[in-house]
């Protein structure tokens, strides 16, 4: 990668793996902004999308490289051109786009086949429709020539604004159980944020971190989903801003548990109190009574 080559050519030590601060897609260096111990706290995105320190937060890439190389901004910009590194503007803030956010069409309120699917999974469809704004597609529903047929539409909000959506297949015949909103239509990329009742999280002693939307539906407003076991640094920072105490409750599969423990380490590095909890199966598959008891236990009674 060009960032790696630039650092190598200027004798800046970095790591890509084997350190608790490492995240795939980021090059970790000793933070030039932090006093004290050096432990590769700062990551620079390989594509120039940002720089972030686990202790002191985000920094502009140009300013970060300037500190590391002890060079003025003008020299850094010249080096970026030489190494063909493009500095990207942040994409996690609302933006105006020629491709505005919208749902596949046609769509409608939930009809009986879609409600039966949710009932079969142990959910109250009317409650979900009211609380989470669920809608549905039809036999033929398109967005940007992409087929979203036979899916439940799941709006994703951040800071009170609709920013993206997921779409869950109800036939169980599709190769893709979940499909996301086309990236160019998202106001904020869904992997840069979390799913849940953001405005409620601080009301609870702990924030329960889960994988997916159905886990949040089951566990309720004290939970937040990373929308998959793979998480991004942006999501870690969103979590760190959302609460001080966490329980990570990913599925029982080994890969999911591995990711849960990696997430725990990253949150602990930011000074958070974190517990990793393992249950049989996944939270979304629990019956509601057991889920309610589990939440009460995780919140300390």
Q: Which tops the pLDDT comparison, 93 or 252?
A: 252
The per-residue pLDDT for range 213-236, each reduced to its tens digit, is: 999 999 999 999 999 999 998 999
Is 195-298 the same fold as 2-82? no
What is the overall mean pLDDT for the chain? 91
Name the residue ranges covered by the structural domains of the chain.
2-82, 105-192, 195-298
Four-point Cα dihedral 182, 188, 191, 197, nearest 10:
-120
Residue 73 is predicted with a pLDDT of 86
Q: Is the pLDDT of residue 23 over 90?
A: no
The residue to which tokens 């009574």 are assigned: 289
3-state secondary structure of 8: helix
Residue 46 is predicted with a pLDDT of 85
DSSP notation for 90-145: P-SS----SS-----EEEES--HHHHHHHHHTT--HHHHHHHH--EEEEEEEEETT
Top-level CATH class of 195-298?
A: alpha beta
Mean pLDDT of the 115-122 span = 97
Q: Which of 50-54, 70-74, 256-260 has the lowest mean pLDDT?
A: 50-54
Architecture of domain 2-82: Alpha-Beta Complex (3.90)
Q: Is the pLDDT of residue 90 over 90?
A: no
The residue to which tokens 């893709």 are assigned: 176
Q: Which helix (H) or strand (E) holds 245?
A: strand 245-248
Residue 50 is predicted with a pLDDT of 82
% of the chain with per-residue pLDDT over 90: 71
Q: Domain 105-192 falls in which CATH fold?
A: DNA primase DNAg catalytic core, N-terminal domain (3.90.980)
């Amino acid at each position: 990668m060009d960032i790696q080559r630039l650092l190598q050519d200027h004798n800046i030590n970095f790591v890509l793996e084997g350190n608790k601060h490492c995240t795939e897609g980021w090059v970790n260096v000793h933070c030039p902004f932090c006093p004290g111990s050096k432990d590769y706290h700062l990551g620079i995105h390989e594509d120039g999308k940002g720089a972030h320190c686990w202790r002191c937060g985000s920094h502009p890439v140009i300013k970060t490289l300037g500190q590391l190389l002890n060079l003025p901004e003008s020299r850094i910009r010249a080096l970026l051109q030489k190494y063909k590194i493009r500095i990207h503007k942040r994409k996690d803030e609302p933006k105006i786009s020629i491709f505005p956010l919208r749902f596949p069409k046609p769509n409608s309120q939930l009809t009986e086949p879609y409600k039966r699917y949710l009932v079969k999974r142990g959910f109250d469809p009317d409650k979900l429709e009211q609380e989470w704004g669920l809608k549905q597609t039809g036999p033929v529903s398109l967005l940007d020539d992409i087929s979203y047929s036979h899916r439940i539409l799941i709006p994703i909000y951040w800071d009170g604004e609709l920013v993206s959506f997921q779409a869950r297949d109800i036939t169980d015949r599709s190769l893709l159980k979940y499909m996301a909103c086309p990236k160019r239509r998202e106001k904020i990329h869904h992997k840069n944020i979390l799913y849940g009742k953001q405005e409620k999280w601080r009301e609870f002693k702990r924030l329960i971190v889960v994988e997916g939307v159905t886990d949040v539906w089951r566990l309720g407003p004290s939970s937040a989903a990373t929308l998959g076991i793979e998480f991004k640094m942006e999501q870690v920072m969103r979590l760190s801003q959302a609460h001080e105490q966490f329980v990570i409750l990913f599925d029982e599969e080994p890969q999911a548990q591995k990711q849960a423990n990696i997430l725990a380490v990253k949150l602990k590095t930011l000074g958070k109190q974190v517990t990793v909890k393992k249950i049989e199966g996944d939270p979304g598959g629990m019956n509601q009574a057991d889920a309610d008891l589990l939440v009460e236990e995780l919140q300390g009674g």
